[in-house]
Structure 1
Amino acid sequence: MGGRFARQRPASHRHRRERIGSVTTTNPLAAAIEAAADGPSRRYVITGGPSSGKDDLIERIHAAGIPCMQEEPGREIYRKHRERLGRHLRREDRREYSLEVLEAFITEYTAHTSGIRFYNRGIPDGYGWEGFFGLKPTPRLEEATQRYRYDAIFVLDPLDTFEDPDDIVWAKDREIRRVHELIVQGYYDAGYEPVFVAPDSAAARLDFICANLRLPKPSRGV
């Protein structure tokens, strides 16, 4: 019956699977992520100083269905140390804290073995934070930086608002810019060429990042 009279689906429909109701839709971005899932690991870092809009962007990445870390390990580890000490961390507490954060990043890195994944900060962030507190990088950080490499680094330029109460501890007064610059320098020192993401909405920033990686832009419905 179909034969030569069968209607050919438009090209836009041939490249995606659609179902109604209980069935999922595979959009171009989801298809690209699925196609890369069994391939080599592709690791992309989202970083920047306090007040960079990183939390909103990470949330947007998750909403788009892109594999990504949820919360940066340093925040939860910081809270645990603060609860144990009954105060905010001081310079003398930083070394133990930094090593624990580093191990958490290494664990996160090695757990990912294939496909695309975004990271909420990366191992070389340690250079920036240790520099901010006047500490020299540990041999463990130096070793990990050379051994565990990322495919691209996206640095978010600062915004004007704090996202987390602990950020105020990290960057009192006008130290936001200094923390940001130290983090950026840490990635340069580690041999990376970061891509800078200008202040904008989380959606626009994600579109920019996807375009840079030659990934389809997320659906506006996310």
Structure 2
Amino acid sequence: MIPKRIVLIGGPATGKTTLLNALRSRGYQCLEEVSRQVTQAAQQEGVEQLFLTEPLLFSDKLLESRIKQYFEAANLKSNLVFIDRGIPDVSAYMDFIGQQYPERFTQANANYRYDHIFLLPIWDEIHETDEERYESLEEAKKIQDELVKTYTGLGYELIEVPKTSVENRVDFILQELNP
């Protein structure tokens, strides 16, 4: 049986990684956000922000990594696999910056489907930046809008996770998955 692929989406700094870590601590299989790895690899080669300097190259690498992750999820021995961001995030970010992208991005969105999408809303109080996450709160809100537009445009029903404690957020998600 192929596990259900559950994707956590939201603008930068909405608590996805924290939530994923909490799910992992409860014994669930979780796949981390791959964009940090792509960004860090570029930084080791002297490119501070590959997404800003070569957005199409960055997005190609990201798309490839997310497709690999999609198949990795299918091979895990679990009923549920939680994933920090999905394949459609790539085109949503490209739309955010107004960058054209090849048809293979759109095809990937159509070909690789997820079972459930949980949206973590923008939460001003927890927003912060770091070495890989440079987006301002205003940019994060615009990215969130693109994510919502992209996923709903692909026919996904987004389940909004309430702004509450991490434990309550985990409980909410698990209740939604097991009514």
TM-score by length of 2: 0.89
Matches within 5 A, 1:133-212: 133-159=97-123, 160-162=125-127, 165-166=130-131, 168-169=133-134, 171-172=135-136, 174-212=138-176
**Do 1:45 and 1:122's aligned partners in 2 also have CA atoms closer than 8 Å?**
yes
Measured in 2, the distance between the counterparts of 1:146 and 1:119 equals 18
**Counterpart amino acid of 1:141?**
F
1:164 Cα deviation (Å)? 5.3
Asked which structure has the greater RCO (Cα within 8 Å, sep 6+), the reply is 2
Q: Relative to 1, partners in 2 of residues 1:211 and 1:106: Cα closer, same or farther, differing over 3 Å? A: same
Partners of 1:166 and 1:49 lie apart in 2 by 16
- RMSD of aligned C-alpha atoms? 1.9
2:177 and 2:147 map into 1 onto residues whose CA distance is 22
Secondary structure of the corresponding residue to residue 132 of structure 1: helix
Please say if 1:131 is aligned against 2:111: no
Distance 1:139 1:56, change over 3 A: same
Q: Corresponding residue for 2:54?
A: 93
Q: Match of 1:76, as an amino acid?
A: Q
- Structure 2 CA distance, aligned partners of 1:178 and 1:95? 19
Q: Tell me: CA distance 1:63–1:90, structure 2 relative to 1, closer, same or farther (3 Å).
A: closer
**Alignment gaps of 5+ in structure 2:** none
Q: Distance in 2 between matches of 1:177 and 1:88?
A: 20
Contact 1:53 1:163 in 2 (8 A): no
Q: What is the DSSP-based 3-state SS (H/G/I as helix, E as strand, rest coil) of the residue aligned with 2:109?
A: helix
Match of 2:4 in 1: 42
156-165 or 56-65: bigger deviation:
156-165
| Distance change >3 Å, CA 166–CA 192, structure 1 → 2 | farther
CA distance in 2, matches of 1:41, 1:90: 31
Percent identity, aligned pairs only, is: 29
C-alpha displacement of 1:56: 1.1
Q: Secondary structure at the match of 2:54?
A: helix
Q: Deviations over 1:87-125 (max 9, x none)?
A: 323645010110111111111111233632111110011
| Structure 2 counterpart of 1:112, from 64, 73, 89 | 73
SS at match of 1:185: helix
Cα deviation 1:117-168 (Å, max 9, x = unaligned):
1111100111221112211342111111111100010010122234551465
Name the SS for the 2:5 alignment partner. Answer: strand
Q: How far apart are the structure 2 equivalents of 1:103 and 1:116? A: 22
CA contact (8 A) 1:61 1:68 kept: yes
State the distance in 2 between where 1:153 and 1:75 align: 21
Q: Is the 8 A contact 1:51 1:167 kept in 2?
A: no
Between Structure 1 and Structure 2, the one with more helix by share is: 2
User: CA–CA distance in 2 between the matches of 1:77 and 1:167?
Assistant: 10
TM-score (norm 1): 0.73
What is the letter of the counterpart of residue 103 of structure 1? E
